[in-house]
Amino acid sequence: MAAHTLETSAVFTKTLSKDLLAIAEKVKNGERITPEEGLLLFEKGELSFVASLADFISRRLHDGKVYFNRNFHIEPTNVCVFTCNFCSYSRLYKHRDDGWELSMEQMLDMVKKYDGQPVTEVHIVGGVHPKMNLEFFCELLSKIKAHRPDLHLKGFTAVELDYMFRKAKLTTEEGMTKMRDAGLQSLPGGGAEIFHPDVRAEICPDKVDGDGWLDIHRTAHKLGMHSNATMLYGHIETYAHRIDHMTRLRDLQDETGGFNCFIPLKFRNKDNDMSYVKEVSIVEDMRLYAIARIFMDNFRNLKAYWPMLGREAAQLSLSYGVNDLDGTIDDTTKIYSMAGSEEQNPSLSTEQLCDIILSVGRRPVERDTLYNEIKEYKAE
């Protein structure tokens, strides 16, 4: 592995405060920064400073490797019993004129479309539909696994799972065990939003709270399953709320080690009840990624979800600590295109993803869901 150094002298030592220099020294030595220091980075850390620290960490961990996988999405429905103010995707169950509800046969047909193709993961997530219950999805999982045993089944946010378990009158452990036995192998990170109850009361008051989200992921980890973690940023939250959120995730990762990656998700303001909130700038996006890389020291992987961020901004994020660009997606996800993302038809071929990575001097590596390396691609 190449040696990577962090330059904290020269321009930095002349312009930085003592506290920021102390953070740089901690990063250089591989030490954890405190929540107070994380907040200081948001409040005082210039983009160039946090970028240098984040890139140093990323290169030390991954030596320029950037991961992606070959995946596709199934979104069973956008009909939902919840009314999250930031959501442009869901349609209330009682007002579902422009909603969709896929049958089990339709979803199985989507899986069969990839027969013979080298996809490794199906990602299943959607609205919370009262008729698509635990038994329905366990049957779907079992049928997918029976049809294609090699396909990794990643599915259902903690919001979906909490509703299913409560409706089935099962404990979290009972419900997660049932899903695992049906074929579910890992959880996506959606539904986390911002954990702090003050923010949650304003943006998503009627769904599982932060402690409930964490408990579902803790339970999955204890059952031998892995999961991802997200944070919805750039709306009404403060820097302190972001640090609180990341601290809770960091603490759970210390406890279980079950998270595969951390995925910051940018708030998009099109066609939702928070359209009055201005979206943050790309500068703020990059600062967020960089500080997440610095603060989330026990999360080996930091992902930029390109359908949400846009492929150009996602490429830029590779210089700000990001080492994962998700996957090929194949034009099957609508969650962010409906909210105004630049990517209205989110699909990239393996070659296109590799070009994005290679053109900024990084090393594209195809992975599976659990970050086992499948193949590194070289420039032709």
pLDDT at 339 over 60: no
Distances 141 to 19, 22, 107, 165 between C-alpha atoms, Å? 51, 50, 10, 16
List pLDDT tens digits, range 152-171: 999 999 999 999 999 999 99
pLDDT at 103 over 60: yes
For residue 99, which of 78, 85, 114 has the smallest C-alpha distance? Answer: 78
Domains of the chain (ranges, CATH numbers): 10-61 (no CATH), 66-289+298-376 (3.20.20.70)
Q: What is the pLDDT of residue 252?
A: 98
pLDDT at 335 over 50: no
pLDDT at 332 over 70: no
pLDDT at 4 over 70: no
Q: What is the pLDDT of residue 20?
A: 96
State what percent of residues in the chain have pLDDT above 90.
72
List pLDDT tens digits, range 28-79: 999 999 999 999 999 999 999 999 999 999 999 999 999 999 988 899 988 8
Q: What is the pLDDT of residue 188?
A: 96
Q: What is the pLDDT of residue 349?
A: 81
The neighbouring-strand residues paired with 122 are: 72, 153
pTM of the entire predicted model: 0.90
- Mean pLDDT, the chain, rounded, equals 88
Alpha-helix residue ranges (DSSP H) falling in 113-203: 134-147, 158-167, 172-182, 197-203
For residue 134, which of 190, 176, 86 has the smallest C-alpha distance? Answer: 176
DSSP code string of 293-310? HHH-TT--EEB--HHHH-
Model confidence band, residue 129 (pLDDT cutoffs 50, 70, 90):
confident
Q: What is the pLDDT of residue 337?
A: 42
Sign of the CA dihedral with 274 first, then 280, 285, and 291 last:
negative
Q: What is the pLDDT of residue 167?
A: 95
pLDDT at 341 over 60: no
Answer with the residue of higher pLDDT: 372 or 332.
372
Would you call 239 exposed, middle or buried from its count of C-beta atoms within 10 A (0-12, 13-18, 19+)? middle
Highest mean pLDDT of the ranges 13-17, 118-122, 170-174: 170-174
Question: Considering just the CA atoms, what is the radius of gyration of the chain in Å?
Answer: 20
Q: What is the pLDDT of residue 98?
A: 63
List pLDDT tens digits, range 299-315: 999 999 888 888 899 99
pLDDT at 336 over 50: no
| Distance of alpha carbon 231 from alpha carbon 292, whole angstroms | 10
For residue 252, which of 209, 211, 294 has the smallest C-alpha distance? Answer: 211
